[in-house]
């Protein structure tokens, strides 16, 4: 079972959203502690959360999602998608992207978790590295802007791929992060907000994720499940090392991205 903060992290649904879904009766926790009120989620809840997230991406309202979840057969699910397609076709051209997504789902051509290369989980020590870094509170989409600033500041002193430290133990639309760029040595820093930062060496669970950033949660789930299986205590911040990703002007093929994910842990 997962605590609500853990479940938030692997589903990319905020704790506030999970409370709302519980209240609306579309994602009810597997168990609730009568004394503390803590919510606990299981694997069935995780699968249900994936379906709800998919339907939300396709612009289904809460009322529509309730109708879909009340239908158990795959045949009925397809009819709901087709009916939604007809509604979207009546919208303005600005909704064309949603319409294309819906068509892909009806044809069964899009699945965020298929054809992903799976790598083993390792218990290892992270590297201690000298970096220049910038900490901020914001959206995950803002990481690219920070990375560009760090590369500009480092110039010829760049010594490795970018690492982002994620300090929150649950998914939030805006989060506390620190972006780090390894450098060969100390030099004169002139940019405001950028500082030297020593990445510490620590015991971590490590996995290589292959695929777009929208599928990173699948690897986080693997690490969390591994930690629970071995009775480890996972700590934060976690690290994402972007070994292969988008270029400066083109995104390229997200399926070819390579991201190393590590989470510090303690053995009991």
High-pLDDT (> 70) share of the chain, %: 93
pLDDT score of 199 = 95
Read off the pLDDT of residues 166-203 as tens digits, 9 standing for 90 and up.
999 888 889 999 999 999 999 999 888 999 999 999 99
Kindly indicate the confidence band of residue 160, based on its pLDDT and cuts at 50, 70 and 90.
very high
| Mean pLDDT, residues 3-31 | 94
pLDDT score of 164 = 97
| Mean pLDDT, residues 51-60 | 92
pLDDT score of 92 = 65
High-pLDDT (> 90) share of the chain, %: 66
Q: Give the orientation angle of helix 43-57 with respect to helix 62-69, to 10 degrees.
A: 130
pLDDT exceeds 60 at position 136: yes
| Mean pLDDT, residues 145-168 | 94
Task: Give the lowest-confidence range in 100-104, 155-159, 221-225.
Answer: 100-104
Kindly indicate the confidence band of residue 251, based on its pLDDT and cuts at 50, 70 and 90.
confident
Q: Name the CATH superfamily for 122-266.
A: Regulatory factor, effector binding domain (3.20.80.10)
pLDDT score of 116 = 60
Strand 175-182 vs strand 122-125: parallel, antiparallel, or unpaired? unpaired
Instruction: Report the CATH fold assignment for 2-107.
Output: Multidrug-efflux Transporter Regulator; Chain: A; Domain 2 (1.10.1660)
Read off the pLDDT of residues 143-153 as tens digits, 9 standing for 90 and up.
999 999 999 99
pLDDT score of 117 = 80
Backbone phi, then psi, for 135, in 5-degree steps? Answer: -100, 150
Count how many residues are written for the chain: 268
pTM score of the predicted model: 0.74
- Write down the mean pLDDT value for the chain: 89
Kindly indicate the confidence band of residue 97, based on its pLDDT and cuts at 50, 70 and 90.
confident
Q: Which of 164, 166, 165 is nearest to 147 (CA)?
A: 164
Q: Which of 29, 51, 54, 33 is nearest to 42 (CA)?
A: 29
| Mean pLDDT, residues 125-131 | 94
- Boundaries of every domain in the chain: 2-107, 122-266
| Mean pLDDT, residues 160-164 | 96
pLDDT score of 109 = 58
Q: Give the orientation angle of helix 15-24 with respect to helix 4-11, to 10 degrees.
A: 100
């Amino acid at each position: 079972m997962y605590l609500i903060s853990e479940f938030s992290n692997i589903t990319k649904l905020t704790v506030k959203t999970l409370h709302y879904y519980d209240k609306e009766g579309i994602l009810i926790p597997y168990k609730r502690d009568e004394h503390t009120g803590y919510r606990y989620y299981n694997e069935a809840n995780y699968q249900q959360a994936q379906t709800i997230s998919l339907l939300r991406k396709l612009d289904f309202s809460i009322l529509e999602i309730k109708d879909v979840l009340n239908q158990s057969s795959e045949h009925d699910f397809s009819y709901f998608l087709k009916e939604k397609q007809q509604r979207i076709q009546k919208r303005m051209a600005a909704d064309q992207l949603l319409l294309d997504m819906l068509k892909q789902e009806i044809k069964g051509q899009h699945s965020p978790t298929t054809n992903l290369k799976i790598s083993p989980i390792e218990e290892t020590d992270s590297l201690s590295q000298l970096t220049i870094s910038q900490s901020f509170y914001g959206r995950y989409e803002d990481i690219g802007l920070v990375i560009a600033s760090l590369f500009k500041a480092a110039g010829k002193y760049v010594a490795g791929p970018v690492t982002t430290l994620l300090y929150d133990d649950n998914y939030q639309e805006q989060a506390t992060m620190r972006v780090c760029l390894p450098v060969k040595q100390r030099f004169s820093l002139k940019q405001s907000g950028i500082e030297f930062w020593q990445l510490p060496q620590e015991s971590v669970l490590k996995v290589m994720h292959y695929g777009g950033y929208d599928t990173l949660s699948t690897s986080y789930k693997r690490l969390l499940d591994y930690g629970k299986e071995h009775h480890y205590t996972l700590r934060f911040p976690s690290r994402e090392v972007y070994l292969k990703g988008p270029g400066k002007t083109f995104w390229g093929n997200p399926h070819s991205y390579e991201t190393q994910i590590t989470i510090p842990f303690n053995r009991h």
